[in-house]
Chain A
């Protein structure tokens, strides 16, 4: 998959995963990989810069919790993040429908 297209969608996927419940980096990576059935073959480390960027944009909020003697950073969606997720999802669906519409028509003709 084209990396530009991929990274445009990654932020939306992260927000979507976080929107269900507060979670942490490893779990987000596992969820995305599991739900995409291995389609998004990302380096797990590359999620963290995206998470921190979303946090700086105040779309995500974070807090720390101690688990098994280790500190773990949890992320949760902020109000602004929820609005942004809704907008991104609408845009993605419109984009997807548009693309699908074009591709579906050509397939029907073919």
Chain B
């Protein structure tokens, strides 16, 4: 009888415990009753059995049908549940895949960002190197320390020249934008390094001080490429107005305050564009020095400048420094124009001295000059040029060629390590005997020496004794050094030649010893009654 259940599926966990037995018992009861009936009819078990199965049908198929009928709802529920679980798994996998994609995209973005940061750092380094290559940046009011600040993503320009009051580190915030960054901005200044704020929307009073820096040859042409600072009587810089309706050209603060600057397009792949591309800050965070690299037709503006005396200081990379004093009166909107001289360039000047007639074989009159760069006044601005020391040049009285150079001019001493000296002999070609100057005007002052050639009793040379002197003649001249190479030819008027001989003769001792009692050099110039300044 248990064969009835042979076709049933394997028992399931959710199957009622009595289901199989109930099916078996019900069908077995029917078959037993039918068997007895047929057995009574036929008397043969085999025949009875065959007739029972013939009337009943396949008991196994019926048993399977009943089992499915009982389990149908559970099976379907399980299938639906499995389907839902499958869908859930698919959904979870899909979400996981999407999350993976998102994370992957984020990691790629992160990698891109890091690459851009590295590129930015590299650009900053390049910028720093480029700026260092600018003509004499160390003497440009900044102490030469331009350093990349990777943490701030910016660049700080350090140092204030002592001449300007010794302010400390000043920041030029900003990181160089990599090519292709948003808007193609060449420079995106790093907010956060410097105080932000000064935001848009806050009404600002109009400026009451405007400083124009113009080129000397054309007063309508604004200059560019300079640092501007306005100092009060105490030598403290006053802050630049940051938002001046585009007056700063490339400055797009947009509320980012001191740190907010963005460069223009192009320009060395991210060099700052715009008018003011950098600001230096005082220790209290005020932007006091503006690096103006493009012409500013509206000038550099200052707000809330209290009445008083001020000095506008303009400094160019080539060393030109202009200072103009002015006053801001109460309720006055002051406009200051600083007229700048032409740019200075290196000038190698060969100086040809005069040939001098001598008075005595034992003495030699030598001519020399002191070359000094004099301050230049343009309108109300006094201009000087940094790194232009004075020179002292001496000439061979026979040929007029330069024999020695000293810089800076002054007492020649071994104790003065800063003084450069150079002497020439006959083997040095004439084109090496130049003086390194910067183009512009120089004052040239005569000076003379009487050189006593000291010899021993045996006639051997023992050296020279030099006595410097001047004559009471106007001895100042003005020469202009032109860019490149130049030659100055110095002549002495006949009257001066005569005076020289007279003065020199007065210096020559009446009884000339072969060896001087004392041999001081570079003695004070003799006065008109000085007969024997050397004491022999």
A residues whose Cβ falls under 8 Å from a Cβ of B: 24-26, 29, 43-46, 48-49, 52-53, 56, 64, 67, 70-73
Contact = CB atoms under 8 A, between A and B. Distances in A.
Interface string B23-38: 0011111101110000
Interface in B36-77: 55-59, 61-62, 65-66, 69-70
B22 interface: yes
B36 to A, nearest CB: 10
Given A45-B57, A52-B70, 10 more contacts: A25-B26, A48-B26, A48-B62, A48-B65, A56-B69, A64-B22, A67-B29, A72-B26, A73-B25, A73-B26
23 contacts: A25-B29, A25-B30, A26-B33, A26-B34, A43-B55, A43-B56, A44-B57, A45-B27, A45-B58, A45-B61, A46-B62, A48-B30, A48-B65, A49-B62, A49-B65, A52-B69, A53-B69, A67-B29, A72-B25, A72-B29, A73-B22, A73-B25, A73-B29
A67 B29 CA distance: 9
Contacts of A56: 69
Given A45-B56, A45-B62, A49-B62, A24 B29 contact: yes
A70 B69 contact: no
B17 to A, nearest CB: 14
A25 B33 CA distance: 10
Interface of B: 22, 25-30, 32-34, 55-59, 61-62, 65-66, 69-70
Contacts of A67: 29
Given A52-B66, A73-B22, A44 B29 contact: no
Nearest to A68: B32
B30 A26 contact: yes
A45 B26 CA distance: 11
Contacts of A25: 26, 29-30
Contacts of B55: 43-44
Contacts of B66: 48-49, 52
A72 B33 CA distance: 11
Contacts of B61: 45
Contacts of A26: 29-30, 33-34
A67 B26 CA distance: 12
B76 to A, nearest CB: 14
Contacts, number: 59
A110 B30 CA distance: 48
Contacts of A73: 22, 25-26, 29
A40 B34 CA distance: 17
A73 B25 CA distance: 8
Contacts of B62: 45-46, 48-49
A46 B57 contact: yes
A110 B34 CA distance: 46
Nearest to B62: A45
B137 to A, nearest CB: 98
A44 B70 contact: no
B398 to A, nearest CB: 141
B71 to A, nearest CB: 12
A43 B30 CA distance: 12
Nearest to B21: A71
A70 B34 contact: no
A52 B28 CA distance: 16
A72 B26 CA distance: 6
Contacts of B25: 64, 70-73
Given A46-B57, A49-B62, A70 B26 contact: no
Contacts of B29: 24-26, 67, 70-73
Contacts of B22: 64, 73
Contacts of A29: 30
A26 B55 CA distance: 12
Nearest to A52: B69
B28 A70 contact: yes
A44 B55 CA distance: 6
A81 B121 CA distance: 89
B379 to A, nearest CB: 114
A79 B22 CA distance: 24
Given A49-B65, A52-B70, A70-B32, A44 B56 contact: yes
A49 B70 CA distance: 10
Contacts of B57: 43-46
B325 to A, nearest CB: 112
Contacts of A72: 25-26, 29
A46 B69 CA distance: 13
Most buried by B among A25, A26, A43, A46: A26
A98 B27 CA distance: 39
Nearest to B58: A45
A68 B484 CA distance: 137
The 3 closest A-B pairs by CB, nearest first: A45-B57, A43-B57, A45-B62
A100 to B, nearest CB: 32
A20 B196 CA distance: 99
A24 B25 CA distance: 12
A25 B29 CA distance: 9
A73 B29 CA distance: 9
A45 B59 contact: yes
A82 B27 CA distance: 26
Nearest to A41: B55
Contacts of A43: 55-57
